[in-house]
Structure 1
């Protein structure tokens, strides 16, 4: 069974969460232009080029949705830290293993409840 996290472990994981959050927000700002509407101007963009542009747009939008989801998970983990609930499974209340949190610091469930 996993043990409760020490304050140094929580601080280390909090720093990682804040770094991930900053990186995701920076990437969101860089990728904003990829989600713009693809123009129908057949004169400047050929049919295949437009299809490629539409595919890139869809991939950029999917990536943006994933980043939004990741940012929400990080925000929830930071909230759990301020409420002293971080490191405890949101489902069963058992401690979440430090090794699990090292892999995914935003994890809210122990391995038993996550599977």
Structure 2
């Protein structure tokens, strides 16, 4: 994967995350108490769905931060190199996810 391809893929994923945020906004909204129309179990179900939507939002935010960091590394000419050891990251690993910041050895905790 070239740097241009990586940048394009990262920007596309960034746009997809923004769209996912837009779509899931209603699911993250506070659950209101409507005792006349919603029973206790229905409210518990709504709260569980809200918690799952919020967890998905946290995962998207973490991925968004990885994408921003990868775009910064691209701009600085550091993309494709492990942020821990400085070794080159395997091309297949970058092709799978251009936002990865570490080589396989460092990502798995090896030295």
Structure 1 match to 2:4: 11
TM-score normalised per structure 1: 0.90
Structure 1 match to 2:49: 56
Superposed CA offset, 1:50-108 (max 9, x none) = 11100100000000000000000000000000000100100000111110011111000
Structure 1 match to 2:60: 67
Taking the aligned partners of 1:29 and 1:40, their CA distance within structure 2 comes to 24
**Unmatched tracts of structure 1, length 5 or more:** 1-7
Aligned residues: 108
Structure 2 match to 1:41: 34
Taking the aligned partners of 1:94 and 1:26, their CA distance within structure 2 comes to 34
Structure 2 match to 1:76: 69
Higher relative contact order (CA 8 A, sep 6+): 1
TM-score normalised per structure 2: 0.93
Structure 2 match to 1:5: none
Comparing 69-78 with 8-17, greater Cα deviation is found at 8-17
> Helix, strand or coil: the match of 2:2?
helix
Taking the aligned partners of 1:21 and 1:41, their CA distance within structure 2 comes to 37
After the TM superposition, list the runs of 4 or more consecutive aligned residues in structure 1 that deviate by more than 4 angstroms.
none
